[in-house]
Amino acid sequence: MKFNITHRARNCRAKAGEITTLHGNICTPVFMPVGTQATVKAVSPEDLYEIGASIILGNTYHLYLRPGHKIVERLGGLHRFMNWGRSILTDSGGFQVYSLSKLRTVSEKGVVFQSHIDGSKHFIGPEEAMDIQSSLGADIIMAFDHVVPHPSDYEDVLKSVELTTSWADRSLNRKRGENQSLFGIVQGGMFKDLREMSAKQLVNLGFDGYALGGLSVGEDKETRERVIRETIPFLPEDKPVYLMGVGKPEDIVEAVFQGVDMFDCVMPTRNARNGSLFTQSGTINIKNAAYADDEKPIDEKCDCYTCTNYSRAYLRHLYMAKEILSYRLNTIHNLAYYCRLMTDLRNAILKGELVAFRSDFYEQRKFDCDGRS
């Protein structure tokens, strides 16, 4: 993986760049649609190509449990398995072990956990996480990390940082695919000194990129933004920074200002399936009766497949009738919105207009389309 910064903003840490992997170029800042189980829910790879997605995310924990990483490897790796010709990043599974496992036992070696599918017992440590991701064949893989809930006391978070650093070192020393780049994940909860400690320890080990983990776990917006702002100065300026699991459009805008390059979140796809659709003016809830005979597209400024071909009235009908097509059309639009947001942020950086873009972004979203402030 190569990361080339093409432009830096003058008045903040924002930057525009390009990541190059074996499967193509990724313009940053970038949003990665979440394809946890080797599919982005409700849409095809062809849909993702059309909306401009250059990289998607898969998950080690889920693919290890089902269908099994060795099956994926025998069938040619994740790209071939899911018919996706562009880049893939896989999360190490640390967050899923923390959040989905009913029972888990953490030790220096790794984590013994119970499958959320059938209750069977499994073990994943840093070496196993690397082996699984090597079999999957993703372009960018993540070091195994230890996540603690929020809130947690200082001593528990300190232990998490120590374990994450130890596991990161072991992840680095495990053999991986020749063309795979490895990111370390910064932990430290909401504590400034522990975030600094974690970042410095990981930078000392030396990774291809760095992720901010342990966020979007229940903390408030102000705390999350503070942690991002306080942590990024300790990360190398010439390596990509990835904010895991965040988030809302406004969260992305603020994080780009702080220097974040990569994002993922289930919000655009999950919201789409629940009828919540993003527009430049805010969000609309397509099930509202006001849209029953509305001939307009979701967003008149959007040129995605859904907005080009279908009315709000039709989309409301599909949603209320519980038609499967509702999921696909809504998801196409929401992902197109996110991809366009990233393009607009990048262009604003390149033109030196990021501050004006940010102001316009909030001005347009003063009220959402259903009249809520």
Q: Tell me the two tokens of residue 100.
A: 């989905």
Identify the active-site residue in 47, 91, 139, 251: 91
Listed as own residue / partner, the contacts of 314-320 with beta carbons closer than 8 Å and 24 or more positions apart are 315/277, 315/286, 315/291, 316/286, 316/287, 316/288, 316/291, 316/292, 319/275, 319/286, 319/287, 320/287
In angstroms, the CA 189 to CA 205 distance is 20
Q: Residue 70: what residue type?
A: K
Whether 264 is a known active-site residue: answer yes
Which one from 251, 261, 264, 299 is the annotated catalytic residue?
264
Q: Among 219, 220, 335, which Cα is nearest to 271's?
A: 335
Residue 137 and residue 73 in contact, taking contact as beta carbons nearer than 8 Å = yes
Say if CB 241 and CB 303 are below 8 A apart: no
Q: Provide the 3-class DSSP secondary structure of residue 193.
A: helix
Whether 47 sits among the annotated catalytic residues: the reply is no
Amino acid occupying residue 48 = L
Q: Which residues pair with 7 in a beta bridge?
A: 16
C-beta neighbour count of 296 within 10 angstroms: 11
Active site residues: 91, 264
